[in-house]
Every structure is written in structure tokens, then in C-alpha cells.
Structure 1
Amino acid sequence: MAGELGVLNALDVAKTQLYHFTTIIIAGMGFFTDAYDLFCISMVTKLLGRIYYTEPNAPKPGTLPPSVQSAVTGVALVGTLAGQLFFGWLGDKMGRKKVYGLTLILMVVCSVASGLSFGSSPKSVMATLCFFRFWLGFGIGGDYPLSATIMSEYANKKTRGAFIAAVFAMQGFGILGGGIVALIVASIFDHKYNAPTYEENAAASLVLPQFDYVWRLILMFGALPAALTYYWRMKMPETARYTALVAKNAKQATADMSKVLQVELEVEEEKVEKYTGNERNQYGLFSKEFVKRHGLHLLGTCSTWFLLDIAFYSQNLFQKDIFSAIGWIPPAKEMNAIHEVYKIARAQTLIALCSTVPGYWFTVALIDYMGRFAIQMMGFFFMTVFMFALAIPYDHWRDKDNKFGFVAMYSLTFFFANFGPNATTFVVPAEIFPARLRSTCHGISAAAGKAGAIVGAFGFLYAAQSKDPTQTDKGYPTGIGIKNSLIMLGVINFAGMLFTLLVPESKGKSLEELTGENEGEGDIEATPQEGSRFPNAATA
């Protein structure tokens, strides 16, 4: 039925064409913006503390109170979780394209508004910032299920994994871009004002008022790439799978894809009517039939994404704390506020350039050869190994002569996160669920991931702030908190390996084969549990 529709077959067997790359760029720039906006906050939180929480003539620079830092760091993640659930559901109800532009508008407006956060007191400025970052996250959340679903439904089955992973790989460039923008802005302000260090400033006064512009400019720049792609998003036609299988409009689906593929396709209204009238393919998300066919699959995608994001977001959002702990970033009192932004951004940029970005593109290159299952299992395994290798001999790594070894090993955990589960947890939910539930299920899986990110952001913050009693005079998180956090992240990554056994392999199959929508082929109804545990099984 569905798999026999000419328009869908044409998409499945299409050679790689310009429209594939156009779709990657259009959807990928959303992810560039997503990553930029979510992770750039970690480069300015220390600056916010120095600007708004340093008292006149204080003996050392101010820091954000734990509750404020938790809110500033985590509120966008809460908004992202809500946006993933809402826009994932809306994408199946109204269509992918109709709500695709709305998410971009939210990101543009709220990126600018975040940088314009106002208030008459530090508390009011932080409250305004948190308000706009929540809605920024809400827009970002919608981009996850919509971009993944659109790319999966446009791609051919031979290279579908690479195309979806390429969209997600733009996240790496977003992280890198955030670091580069912070380096440029910090350099400009440092060169212009040449502020003294905190120790050199005998009056121990507040940082220069002009430094308030630094964090605002860094946050607002995130609006630019999203704004540039809005026009092209609005020109994209709705995906054929939604138009034919959900909206039940065979004529429109054929017309749209004839333009995209630049071939003449036959309108097959009778086949679409036959498919959409089949009760076997009309079960809902909360039905027994869905649980029977896809219950373990949804558990697998949700649990692995949840566990992965605890580790991934902990590492990304609190790199500055870990690098301070091992002495790679000097104590705050030895730097002025702009030098601190520069050094944090430099550290995060080097990590992104040397490990994060390459990891994403290794996945793009190999996912359709190795398969999703193998890459995800391998990634979790090496993340586990490197986390324990950092945590167990932690005192060894804290020695200044060994700090570069620590950074190198820490970088490898990022590499295998991205050449591993950070990419595959995004790809698989866009492939294994029926068209009418695909965006919803991807949104649920992604929201489970953001729940893990929230656990990581808030949990790691408090764990990292516990002080080693022998090092209390150094003024930054050390010892007990960091070590125990790394051990916990290793345990979490190991659990991710176990839950990966629930995730099916989707390499080389059409979406309709994977979901059982294609009558007589790939019907997962008979053995959903067995098929989910063996990556090369015939069933999905």
C-alpha cells in the first residue's frame, strides 16, 4: 500500500540531488541556532556574576548565586522540553511546514529580547533574561521533531541516516560559532578598554559599565542565522508522506514532489484512499496496538536520549567549572571580566573544533555503513570508559603537569558522544514511527532527552559546587564535587548501553517498511520485542 505509492517510491530511490542539500541547510541552520543559543549562555554566566553580583570593594569577584545560575542555565532547557512536546504534536496535526516557520520566529525574537533584558536591579534583569530564554527554548524545542521529520520524509532510504545526521551536525557548528563570536566580542572590548585585572584594581570596583554590552551582543547574535533561513523555510513544500498518508491528498503530494524531484509522477488517489481507509493503520498513540508495535521502541528512544543528555549537557554547560578545577582557566581574581570570557570561550572553542564537530561528521560519514545501533553502542561504551578514566585517578589529573592530558581525554568523551548517541538518538525516532505519529513520537523522545539535560544542568551544578575541604582557599569548584560527578556520568553512560538494546536498526529500509505501514513487508506486529533487540533482524 503505502510503500507502493509511486511518489514515496520515487523519494526512496531518488539519487542525491540539490534539494537534499538545500533541505539540510534550511533545517540545519535551525540547529545551528539551537546549539548557539543553548550553549552560549555558559560562556557569559561568570560575566553576569561579576557585573551584577560583585559588591563595591569586595575582596574577590562576584558569582551568580546557585539558584540564579540554575535558573539562567536551565530555563531554556525547560522551555525546549515544552516546545518539543507541543510542536511535535502540532506537526502531526497541522503539518510539518505550517508550524515550521513559527519556531523560527520565536527563536529570532527571543534571541534579540534576551540580549535586551532590562531591570532596575540584578534580580529583575535575571528574571527578564530567564523569561525570554524560556520562550527561546520553546521555539528551539519545536525545531527538533519538525527538522528531523522533514528530513527523514524527504530523504532516500540509502542515505537517509547521513542526511538526518547532517542536519543535527549543524549543532556542532553552532557550538563552535558561539565560541568564535564570544572570542571576537571579548577581544574587541578588551582591546578598546584594556581593563586591569581584579588584583591590579586597588579600588576593587565593579567591572567597567561597557562590559554589560558583551553578554548582550553574544546572546543577540543567535538571531542572525535563524532570520536568514526564514524565507527558504516558507518556500519548502509539505512532505509527501504527510500530505498523502496523513492529510490524504494524493494530488497535492504528487504535484509537490514532481516539482522537487523534477520528474512526472502519477496521481494515485485510489491507493491513498485504500491505505487511509485501512483500520489496521489507524491506531493512536495511547492505544494497545501502539504499545504492542512500538511501546518498546519508544521506551528505547526516550531512555537512551534521557541518559545521553544528562552526560552531554553536564559536560557542555559546565566545562568552565571543570577547566577551572584543573587549573586550565586561572582563578577569577587573576583576570578582568573580559579576559575570563575570552579564556572560557577559547577553551570551549578548542573542544568544539578538535572533538565535537569532527564527532558529528564521523557519524554523517559512517551511519549508513555501520548502522545506528553499532554507532550508538560504541559511543556509550567509550564515553563510559573515558569518564571513569578521568574520575578514578582524578587527583592525578589535577596536577598542573597533567592538565593537558585531562583536557585531551575529556575531549574524547565529546568526540564519542557525537560519533555516537548524541547523533543517533536524534536520527532513529524520525524513522521508526508511523507518519501520523512520527513528529509526536520524536517530540516525546526529544523531551525525554531535555528532561535528562535538566537533571544534568541542575544536578551537576550543585555537585560541582561542593568543595574539597583541603582546597577551600582557591575559590572555585574542586575535588569531591567534580570527581563524584564524573563517576556518576560514567554510570549513566553504561546504563545507556543497556537501554540501546531496545532500539531497532533502521539502516537501508524505507520508512513504511520500518513502521509496518507497508502491507506484507516489514510488519513489526508479529515480533516487535525480538526485532528491537537485534539490530540486523528483518523486523523493525
Structure 2
Amino acid sequence: MADNDDASSQNSGPKPDGVQILNELRMAALREVDGAKLMYCARPILRIESFLIDLYRWFHRKVCLVAGVGFFTDAYDLFAINIASVMLGYVYGHYPDSSCRPTLNPTQDLGLKIAAPVGTFFGQLLFGWFADIVGRKRMYGVELILMIVGTFSQATAAEGQAISVIAMLIFWRFIVSRLIVFVVHCTDIFFGGQMMTSVFAAQGWGNLAASIVAIVITVIYKDKISGDFPLDTCTQTCNIHATIVQVCSSPSTLNHVDYMWRLLLGLGCVPGAIALYFRLTIPETPRFTMDIERNVARATADINGALHPARGRNRNTVTQRADAPRATFTDFWDFFSKRDNFLMLCGTAYSWLAIDVAFYTLSLNSSIIFEAINFGSSAKVYDTLYNICKGNLIISLAGLIPGYWVCFLFIETMGRKRIQLMGFAVLTVLFVVMGASYNALIPDGGTAGDGNKVPAKTIVFVFLFCLANFFQNFGPNTTTFLIPGEIFPTRYRATAHGISAATGKLGAIVAQVIFRRLDPVSSSRRNLALSFGVLSIFTMSGVFSTLLVPETKGVSLEVLSNENQEGFMRAPRGEVNVQDGIVIPLERLDDLP
């Protein structure tokens, strides 16, 4: 009898109101996402649970695949221009002097290489802001469409009396921009860094694919472009540019090179089209649905549908908005006017700038650097293009891709901050060594492009070059992408990530301008050594900016956001009828940890 009285007294106690249940459900759903690994590892694995693990893993693999294809396409287009600019030089360029192959003039080459970073600078700010308003999924689709249209339009750009093909390429490369934060909202605290690293590593595969496609196209057209570009064959006036240019005795050679760069750039839109289709099958990120759309019930249904497919989704879930902190200019100012938050933003933004100065200097100008060290120069079109493609392939296989995946292996053990500090420090040492030893390692003249044997000293320099690319990716190039996607609250995560990325692209623009001003090929050979010295200054400064950011390893996004999560959801304007299941079905609470 006493037991019944106790039970009745407990049942008659105060019931939690709708707002309290909203907060409890939100935190339970976030714990389920963050603790997905423990959820499956803490219990005996039965046959049906093994099947659920496979489905759970497939969902995350699918998210990584769709987001990664976007980065793959973007990287393919970004780095293919490094090779395509050499091809464009043969078709639309001129001879700067009697000893060089035909090339684009410095202004044209600079325009092609900074158009994408300039477009990305504005795109990151604009799309990052829009992504915090309309959603990551929707803006990711818009960016994929722009990427596909821009990539295909580059391949169809034409030359005419009233328009320049280089100008059209610059315009369309401005349209193609970098992707927003997407996958971070679907990660847990155990695999989050590895998931984001695997997505970002698609850049390495995009670079490798651009090199492979370029070398395959070059080999296919070998018989068509094996002739020389003799300086004394003929000279004619170009009616379009009103300049004197040297042309090959076989105009068909130029036509075939024109086909080559169009194929190289145009094929980049294929993976983007595939990603656009699969994007339709991925739901909006649960944190955006809860914290921005303020729809806890729908976010919970999405989480259950993704992590527990056997349960299915509750088709009776009704959309009802709760009240939560909203993204407004006043709220943005209040959040980032706090010293800690402002310093974190400064740390992520400047660190990204420091590494992008180095990354884009090496990546977008590798063909120029190869020519400066006599690795690729030849009178024959085929030999020049083949050597440049081979050099880019070596860099991808020996530096870029290993760096990404070594970072993938250690990101959850070493931590983001430690890897970033190590990367900046090692890069500083490498750039100082490369600049100081350049004159000793690279002899005057050289025969690397014309002979079959590459000088041993040149091999040493190429090894250092690959090592620098390795520690860029096993270092700040990867972590500067991860950290700003983890440390800011959901309503400003894409905006803050966009600000950081845009600052990085500002560094890429500055890097291209400085590099072209130094002109290491046409000017004194000491200018390339000076370029590495300038890079070492930026990477050294990155060590200090890294000290401003926190370590994010093993910490949930809500803790990192530097906001109190208790009572995060507030009462909406209307009544919250929780017991009738309008906001949240009560039976759903039994399914959550």
C-alpha cells in the first residue's frame, strides 16, 4: 500500500513543460550524434546490430562521398589550370624572347591563376552567410550547379574579334568558387576530424586526377604535337592582338593543342554532375535544423532515420518552431565582440592566410618552378607538356596525397592544433633550406628537360619540394579547414568559416601577385630563392596565430561553441502541446539515450 502511495505521489509531481522537453530532446539527439561510436561499441554486437553498424557507416560514407566529390571537382579545376595555361600559351601566347617557348604574357597568366581565388574570396563570404540562413544542403547544391556551369563554359570559351578567350576563361574561373561547410554537422566527436579530413583529402585526388588526365591527353595527341616550334620558320602579324608572334610551320599542331586544354578543363564537370544527383538524397544537417530552423522534432526524425533506419521516420511529426538564439547582426556583433571569440576568429583567419600564401604559390606555379629549375623546358611541344605533367604527377603522388592521408591517420590522436603547429614549423625550416641552397642545387643552364638524365642536385631540390607539399597537407592546409568548422556556434559556423577561408584566399591572391612580380623564369634566378624566403616569413607567423585557437580533438561542437547549452531552446510564441505529439512524440524519448 505504501508503495502504491509512493508511486502515486511520484506520478502526481510536477511534469516537465514543453520547453524543458525540447531542451532535453535536443541534448539527447546531439549526444546520439556525438556518441555514435560508443553507441555501437558499448554493447554486445548482435547480427542485427552489425547490420545497423554497416548502415550507420554507409550514411557517413555517403555524406563524405558527396561532399568530397565537390572538393574533388573544385581541386581538379583549380590545379588543371596550372597545366592548361602552358597549353594556352602555345595557342594564344607569344615568344617573350628568342630562347623561350610561346607563353601567355604575365598579365594573362596572373589573371587565369587569381580569378578562382578572387571568386572564392567573395563566394566564401556570400555563400557562407547564405548557408547560415537557408541551409548547408541548399547552398551546396547551388555551388555545385555554378561549378558545373562554370567548368563546362571554360571548355567552350572562344576567341573572336570582339572577345578574348583568355578574358572569358578569367570570367568563368571567377564564377567557380570553393565549397561551404557541410559534413562537419554530421560528425561525431570520435570520427569528426577523420571524416572532415577524408572529405578535404579529395583535393589531393582532384589534383592527381588533373595530372593523370593531362598526361593521358598528351600521350593520345603525341603524334600530332611532336614537332618543334622553330623560331626562324615564319613570323606573322596577329590581327586580333595586333602583336608580332611566332607561329609553328604546322598550324594543325596548334589546333590539336587547342583541343587538349579544352578536354582537360571540360572533363572536370563530370564528377560535379554526379555529386549533384546524390546531394538530393542527403537530409539537411541536424544541427542546422535544430538551432537555425528551430525544429527539434524534424532534426530528431532525421537523426533516427540516418542512424536507426530500422525505426523509420515518424510521418506524423508536425513542424513547430521553438525559440532559439537567432543569427542577427546584433547577435553576431555581441558574440564576436567578446575577446575570446574574436581572437579565435583572428587565429583561424590569419592561419589560413599564412598557409594559402605558401600552398597556392607552390601549387599554381609548379610548371613555372619546373621550368626555372630546367625540369620541363624543351623545343618540342610534346616533351615540354609531358615533362610538366610528369612533374605534377610526382608532386601529387609523393607529396600531396600522402600528406592528406597521414593527417587522416593522426588527426584524432595528435590533435588539430599540434599538427598545425608542427606543420608551420617544419615548412618554415624547409623554405629556409630551399631558398638558401637553391643556387647550389640548381646549376646554370641544365639539361633536365632535354636529356634523359636529371642532375642529382635537381632531384634533391624536387625532393624538398615534395616534402614541403607533404607537410602542407600533414599540417596547416588541412587543419585550417577543420578548426573553423568546429569552434563556432551553428548559426555562425558557415559565416565564420567563410570569413576564415576568404582571408586565406586573400593570401592566395597576394601570393600570385608577389610571385609574378618576382618573375623567377625571366628575371634573375635568385628571385626564386627569394620567393622561398618570403614564404618562410608567412609560415613562421602562422606558428603564432595557431596559438590563438583551441584544441578541438574529442570535444563536441556545442562545447566548442563557447555558449551555455542549458536552456538553449526557449518557449515559442504559441503553446507547446508536447503530450499530444504536436511538437515531439513522447514515445520518441524512449528511443534516445
TM-score bracket, normalised by the shorter chain, equals 0.7 to 0.9
Q: Distance in 1 between matches of 2:393 and 2:292?
A: 43
Task: Please provide the CA RMSD for this pair.
Answer: 2.7
- The CA deviation at 1:201 is 8.2
Equivalent residue, structure 2, for 1:530: none
1:335 correspondence with 2:380: yes
Q: 1:280 to 1:48 in 2, by over 3 A?
A: closer
- Decide whether aligned partners of structure 1 residues 18 and 114 sit closer, same or farther in structure 2, where only a CA change above 3 A counts: same
Alpha-carbon separation, structure 2, partners of 1:494 and 1:321: 25
**Deviation of 1:18 (Å):** 1.3
Contact 1:2 1:517 (8 Å CA) reproduced:
no
Contact 1:384 1:491 in 2 (8 A): yes
Residue 547 of structure 2 aligns to a residue whose secondary structure is: helix
Matches within 5 A, 1:180-195: 180-191=212-223, 193-195=224-226
1:387 corresponds to: 431
TM-score, length basis structure 1 = 0.86
Q: Which residue of 1 aligns with 2:183?
A: 151
Q: How does 1:415-454 map to 2 (within 5 A)?
A: 415-454=470-509
Looking at structure 1, the residues matched to 99 and 326 of structure 2 have their Cα atoms a distance apart, in angstroms, of: 72
Aligned to 1:324: 371
**1:285 counterpart = 2:332:** yes
Which letter maps to 1:380? F
1:104-149 CA-to-partner distances (Å, cap 9, x unmatched) read 011111101001111215961111111111112xxx32x1x2xx3x
Which residue of structure 1 lines up, in the alignment, with residue 109 of structure 2?
Answer: 69
1:416-454: CA deviation from partner (whole Å, max 9, x where unpaired):
000000000000011000010001100111101111111
* Counterpart residue type for residue 361 of structure 2: S
Q: Which structure's residues are more often helix, by fraction?
A: 1
Given candidates 205, 230, 249, the residue that maps to 2:247 is: 205
Measured after TM superposition, the shift of residue 208 of structure 1 is 2.8
Task: Pick from 515, 527, 530 the counterpart of residue 481 of structure 1.
Answer: 527
Aligned-pair identity (%):
35
Q: Larger C-alpha radius of gyration, 1 or 2?
A: 2
Amino acid at match of 1:157: I
Provide the rounded CA distance (Å) in 2 between the counterparts of 1:176 and 1:409. Answer: 19
Q: What residue in structure 2 maps to residue 11 of structure 1?
A: 33
Distance (whole Å) between structure 2 residues aligned to residue 209 and residue 59 of structure 1: 23
Q: Is the 8 A contact 1:302 1:445 kept in 2?
A: yes
Matches within 5 A, 1:441-520: 441-465=496-520, 476=522, 479-519=525-565
Instruction: State the distance in 2 between where 1:481 and 1:457 align.
Output: 14
Correspondences of 1:355-366 after superposition (within 5 Å): 355-366=399-410
Q: How far is the alpha carbon of 1:507 from its aligned partner?
A: 0.6
Letter in 1 for 2:476: P
3-state DSSP of counterpart to 1:286: helix
How far residue 194 of structure 1 moved from its aligned partner, in angstroms, is 4.7
> Which residue is 2:71 aligned to?
31
Contact 2:417 2:550 in 1 (8 A): yes
Matched positions, count: 496
Q: TM-score, normalised by structure 2?
A: 0.79
Q: How far apart, CA to CA, are the structure 1 residues paired with 2:465 and 2:419?
A: 19
More moved, 456-465 vs 117-126: 117-126
* Letter in structure 1 aligned against 2:93: Y
Q: Which ranges in structure 2 are unaligned for 5 or more consecutive residues?
A: 1-22, 38-55, 235-245, 444-454, 568-593
Given that residues 350 and 542 in structure 2 are in contact (C-alpha distance below 8 angstroms), is that contact kept between their aligned partners in structure 1?
Answer: yes
Paired with 2:121 and 2:480, the residues of 1 have a C-alpha distance of 15
CA contact (8 A) 2:96 2:103 kept: no
**Structure 1: gaps of 5 or more residues:** 468-475, 522-540
Q: Which is further off, 71-80 or 207-216?
A: 207-216
Letter in 1 for 2:87: L
The amino acid across from 2:32 in the alignment is A
- Tell me, in whole angstroms, the C-alpha distance in 2 between the residues paired with 1:512 and 1:261: 20
Q: CA deviation at 1:502?
A: 0.6
Secondary structure of the structure 2 residue equivalent to 1:392: helix
Shift in CA distance, 502/251, structure 1 to aligned 2, threshold 3 Å = same
Structure 1 residues 220, 122: closer, same or farther in 2, change over 3 A?
farther
Greater shift in the superposed pair: 228-237 or 307-316: 228-237
**In structure 2, how many angstroms separate the alpha carbons of the residues matched to 1:261 and 1:168?**
23
Q: State the 1:196 CA deviation.
A: 1.2
What is the rounded CA distance, in whole Å, between the counterparts of 1:509 and 1:463 in structure 2?
44
For residue 4 of structure 1, report the CA deviation from its aligned partner.
5.6
The one-letter code of the counterpart of 2:404 is Y
Distance 1:2 1:83, change over 3 A: farther
